[in-house]
Structure 1
Amino acid sequence: MKKTFSLLLLFTAFLMNAQEKKNAQKTQFVEVSCGQCKFGMKSGGCDLAVRIDGKSYFVDGVKIDQHGDAHAKDGFCEAIRDAEVVGQVKNNRFVVSYFKLLPKEQ
């Protein structure tokens, strides 16, 4: 009985660990800019978007003006920047859980 219980406990722990790895999101390096102004997406205004593997997605979880004036010379409506992100595509939008804008290349 003890062996059966021990095996069941070990198997349960293995399954839980596998599920956690499946749900873990990886860090990605993406292009980020205004979806409408720089990526040619249709929207009602200037909204933040990421481009992953050539496909653009509007972003949920970070707003376009959280990183300065979007219409400034180096803003998202004027430039495409690089960012380090963690998140996932849901309903054709990128839901971000971590966002770090990388320094501009000089």
Structure 2
Amino acid sequence: MKKLLIIAFIGIAACNTPKEKTQIVEASCGQCQFGLNSQNGCDLAVKIDGQAYFIDGVHIDDFGDAHDEKIGFCNVVRKAEVTGKVEDDRFKATSFKVVE
């Protein structure tokens, strides 16, 4: 009986763990474009289902000057294909590719 309960508990815990998925999202500076104010300075964020999250695993300057008028994340919202999951109110990215 104990083994059955332990297996059931592990199964329930596994179902509640957020799973990584690949999706197309909006990406930009969390402070400049998405209005996030939980940290200072310009940092990359993604918007998923209308909710913005700062992103871990990718840096805002990995894609050129963040303040470039035409492509900088502080000035424009871009589309990106990302793989990862939301965890602790942040998006944990395992891949990030700008698609436009």
Q: Same fold (TM over 0.5)?
A: yes
Query: Is 1:78 matched with 2:75?
Result: yes
Equivalents in 2 of 1:55, 1:90: separation in Å? 13
Q: Secondary structure at the match of 2:26?
A: strand
Q: Secondary structure at the match of 1:95?
A: strand
What is the total number of aligned residue pairs between the two structures? Answer: 83
Aligned residue number for residue 38 of structure 1: 33
Q: Give the drift of 1:26.
A: 1.9
**% same residue:** 54
Q: Give the drift of 1:23.
A: 7.3
Instruction: Please identify which structure carries the higher helix content.
Output: 1
Q: Give the drift of 1:102.
A: 0.9
| Higher RCO structure, 1 or 2 (CA under 8 Å, sep 6+) | 2
What TM-score comes out, normalization by structure 1 length?
A: 0.74
Query: Are the equivalent residues in 1 in contact too, given 2:26–2:46 (CA < 8 A)?
Result: yes
Question: 2:96 aligned to 83, 99, 105, which one?
Answer: 99
What TM-score comes out, normalization by structure 2 length?
A: 0.78
Question: 1:55 aligned to 51, 58, 72, which one?
Answer: 51
Paired AA for residue 32 in structure 1: A
Q: Give the drift of 1:24.
A: 5.5
- If you compute each CA radius of gyration, which structure gives the higher value, 1 or 2? 1
Equivalents in 2 of 1:39, 1:65: separation in Å? 17
Paired AA for residue 30 in structure 1: V
